[in-house]
Structure 1
Amino acid sequence: MSRGTVSQRIAALLASSLLREGAPAASDGGRPARSYEVNPDYRNLIGVDLGEHVGRACLLDLHGRILDQTHFALDLRADPEITLRHVVEASQALSLSNARTAPVAALGLAVPAPVDVASGHVVKPSVMYGWENLDIREWITRQTGLTVVIDKDVNLMCLAEHRLSWPSCENFAFIKIGTGIGCGIITGGNLLRGVSGTAGDLGHIQHRLQPYHLCRCGKKGCTEAHAAGWALARDLRAKGFDCEDARDVMRLWTNGEPEALKLIHMSSRVLGKVSADLVAMINPEVLVIGGQLAATGEAMLAGVRELIYQRCLPLATQNLDIRLARNSTDLAVCGAAFFAMDTVPELNGEW
């Protein structure tokens, strides 16, 4: 692209207010270079994260800053339209928020289930029973007038962690360990989804661990069935503890309960084995661990790191940076907003 063409396009973007001048670039003695950035207040976006028990909707600017937010209780086993009504009500409230700095352009939705991104449909098997035949995008758009995009939560968490903390990293992986286990992968700077959207489904890689626990997907021996939050809660219940889900696992771990400490240690090593497989397969530069159980910090990270370095070739690990996520709480809503921002121009041609 010629210098003149670049100048014309920048001028058009500046005139539209989508672009603005950034901080002065460092000079090497010649004419100072100009820098430009997306104007964060050109449009606002809504990011929604559907957990298994709580939904969170946030109003964000184009830099991913949260301007306002709201929470709502949900039950993914109930009628899907009940949950979608909560999403619509939260989105309508945020669209009228006093914190809004621009019109709302789109809504991104993060769900704890595999998604056919082309159609926007949740696909089986998933914890979102009864959602498979529902056109979620059309349902929300009909009620709000907003363009809607949808993807599984771990992909959107990966997108946000990469963009906010590792933007120059070309080969990046993000593993979420919470109620379930999943992975988002960025290669060549782009999110890898695979032909049908199941890339990174680490939770359903099978291991030779005895006993072969039954997974939520219906198969036996999956990584999730041994190391995810729902599986640890199952094991703690079997030992007589009041433990329904990953939140209770974290409560017991925080209180120093020896059985919870032991299970988190075991979980970290199981996750380490599957993480080593991932590193050997895709050779990332950065691997980030996030999600609810990652809040155990070094207790989770130590086992992952140990197994990766134990099982992988030195060439695969010599430049590998293994870290905890900066802030798992906000990643899904920020990633949902970024996905909406990246996708909307292709959908409606406005930007």
Structure 2
Amino acid sequence: MTMNDVSPPVDDAHVTALGSSVASDLFQILRDGRPRTRTELSAMTGLARSTVALRIDALMNLGLVGPVGDAVSTGGRPSSQFAITASGRVVLGVDVGASHVRLAVSDLTGRILGESDDRIPVSDGPEAVLGWVTTAAKELLARVGRDERDLLAIGIGLPGPVEHSTGRPINPPIMPGWDRFDVPGWFNDVFDAPVLVDNDVNIMALGERELSWPEVDHLIFVKVATGIGSGVISGGILQRGAQGTAGDIGHVYVARGADVPCTCGNRGCLEALASGPAIARELRETGLVAESSQDVVDLVKRGNIDAIQSVRQAGRDIGEVLTTCVSLINPSVIVIGGNLAQAGEHLIAGVREIVYTRSMPLATEHLQITQSKAGSDAAVLGACMLAIHHALSPESVEAMVVGAPVPVPVK
């Protein structure tokens, strides 16, 4: 609905029910954080000041908007200003990793109010992991002084493929017992809030952008750890593709590894050549002790030449795949994260060597390839942002204003 489609005036007694999207429109204007007066909002929307006042009252009753002081007076009584109320309502972000779970409660700006974590293997199964999450979430909400009724949405990241439209993991290789488990349904039995589930790389991309690159609309986040994957933000929007597998670069063919088997059943996958376990396997063949990504990183930090060369080659292999991504998506920034990124410039140098050499000059003229700044915080912050983006969407705000159930993610 546009501003020209606003319904005719109605009885003031019923205006706070707000059967139109006008309140949502006002809220979307205020989401930029800039305080505005009723007069300013009236001028921006073309609505009568009295109508704006009623809509602002409705948003204040929801805890979404509040007064932030007085505007500069032009004579007479100063006008009150209104802006988004960061402390009124909250979201829950959940980062489920291969061997850990981390929770965070944040306000509507993404500011973390409190956290909780534990080392729980995802292989323990959904009931064990999510059972801990629901209990810990209630305790965390109480600890930060919030009621469950203040919870607007829940964002969850899982270390495997997720069908985003349903929130169900699909054939996740390191998550026994999780295949097609109804994760949103589990939480809906406990919390009255919409639940959004995505794979961990997608939420890491959201978190990295929020923390480090808020003005960048074209970004690729690459996670290099036990597996390799990427989250793609294009035009300021996270791209998931038709089935939610956009960015799954770990199983792109790389000629150098034509004979190397991959866990997916194919040969020559990037993940089989350049992931942490793949590099560790290669180093073991030289007689070094390396069982994990962390072992590889430790060897690099100690200056082991074989480890440094292997990591540099892994960067080149990743760069070969990213060169195609640069041509297709034309990002402004490529961020390298995950455990193996702790090897520092050796991995990134390999990526840069290939991408800058093989990509078109126009595509790389201003392209930055850099290490993650958010680090281990990217996933849980991204899970919060996933929840915030849904909770503050025009559809969700309008539903809250009219007293309807907040819409669940589109199936």
Q: Which residue of 2 aligns with 1:65?
A: 111
1:233 correspondence with 2:276:
no
Verify the 8 A CA contact 1:171 1:285 in the aligned structure 2: yes
Contact 2:125 2:175 in 1 (8 A): no
Give the match for residue 133 of structure 2: 87
Task: Check conservation: 1:140, 1:148, Cα contact below 8 A.
Answer: yes
Distance in structure 2 (CA, Å) of the matches to 1:177 and 1:23: 47
Answering whether residue 315 of structure 2 is matched by residue 268 of structure 1, we say yes
The 3-state SS of whatever aligns with 1:209 is helix
Give the aligned residue type for 1:209.
R
Aligned to 2:404: none
2:400 is the alignment partner of 1:350: yes
Asked whether the equivalents of residues 57 and 333 of structure 1 are also in contact (C-alpha less than 8 Å), the reply is yes
Q: 2:100 aligns with which of 30, 54, 62?
A: 54
* CA deviation profile, 1:98-125 (whole Å, cap 9, x unmatched): 4659933322111111111111111125
CA contact (8 A) 1:106 1:340 kept: yes
Structure 1 CA distance, aligned partners of 2:128 and 2:219? 36
SS of match in other structure, 2:214: coil
Offset of residue 52 of structure 1: 1.0
Q: Does the aligned pair in 1 maintain the 2:333–2:368 contact within 8 Å?
A: yes
The equivalent of 1:328 in structure 2 is 375
| Closer/same/farther in 2, CA of residues 259 and 92 from structure 1, 3 Å limit | farther
Supply the AA of the counterpart residue of 1:243. Answer: A
Give the C-alpha shift of residue 10 in structure 1. Answer: 5.8
Matches within 5 A, 1:183-194: 183-194=230-241
> Are positions 1:198 and 2:213 aligned together?
no
CA distance, structure 2, for counterparts of residue 308 and residue 51 of structure 1: 30
In structure 2, relative to structure 1, the CA distance for the partners of 1:135 and 1:286 (3 Å cut) is same
Amino acid at match of 1:256: G
Aligned residue in 2 for 1:106: 153
Alpha-carbon spacing, 1:17–1:146, altered in 2? closer, same or farther (3 Å): closer
Q: How does 1:1-351 map to 2 (within 5 A)?
A: 1=3, 3-5=45-47, 8=52, 12-13=58-59, 16-20=62-66, 38-98=84-144, 100=146, 103-210=150-257, 212-344=259-391, 346=395, 349-350=399-400
Residues 1:233 and 1:20: Cα distance change in structure 2 (over 3 Å): farther
- Aligned equivalents of 2:111, 2:70: Cα separation in 1: 22
Report % sequence identity.
37
Tell me how far apart the structure 1 counterparts of residues 369 and 68 of structure 2 sit (CA, whole Å). 32
- Contact map agreement 1:67 1:100 (CA 8 A) in 2: no
Deviations 1:114-162 (A, max 9, x none): 1111111111253223311210111122134443211011111111222
How far residue 286 of structure 1 moved from its aligned partner, in angstroms, is 1.9
* C-alpha distance after superposition, 1:248-277 (max 9, x if no partner): 222232233333222211111111111111
Tell me the CA shift for residue 331 of structure 1: 0.9
Contact 1:141–1:148 (CA under 8 A) maintained in structure 2: yes
Contact 1:41–1:101, Cα closer than 8 Å, also in 2: no
CA distance in 2, matches of 1:23, 1:244: 58
Partner Cα separation in structure 2 for residue 310 and residue 24 of structure 1 = 56
Question: Where do 5+ consecutive residues of structure 2 fail to align?
Answer: 4-43, 72-79, 402-411
Provide the rounded CA distance (Å) in 2 between the counterparts of 1:212 and 1:99: 57
Which is worse superposed, 175-184 or 339-348?
A: 339-348
Task: Give the aligned length.
Answer: 343
Unaligned runs of 5+ in 1: 26-33
Alpha-carbon shift at residue 35 of structure 1 (Å) = 9.1
Which SS does the other structure have where 2:389 is aligned? helix
SS of the aligned residue for 1:267 comes to helix
Q: Distance in 2 between matches of 1:269 and 1:248?
A: 20
CA drift at 1:302:
1.3
Distance 1:256 1:24 in 2: 60
The alignment's C-alpha RMSD in Å is 2.8
TM-score normalized by the length of structure 2: 0.75
CA 1:75 to 1:5, structure 2 compared with 1: closer, same or farther past 3 Å? same
Could you tell which deviates more after superposition, 47-56 or 123-132? 123-132
Distance 1:112 1:37, change over 3 A: farther
- Cα deviation per residue 1:265-307 (whole Å; 9 max; x = unaligned)? 1111111111111101111122222222222222222111121
Seen in structure 2, the aligned counterparts of structure 1 residues 271 and 91 have a Cα distance that, compared at 3 Å, is same
Greater C-alpha radius of gyration: 2
User: What is the CA distance between 1:23 and its match in structure 2?
Assistant: 11
Question: 2 CA distance for matches of 1:88 and 1:233?
Answer: 36
Contact preservation (8 Å) 2:211, 2:374: no
1:193-252 per-residue CA deviation (whole Å, 9 max, x = no partner) reads 110011111111111114632222222111011111122233234444443322222223
Kindly indicate whether the alpha-carbon contact (under 8 Å) linking 2:280 and 2:296 is maintained by their aligned counterparts in 1.
yes
Residue of structure 2 equivalent to 1:31: none
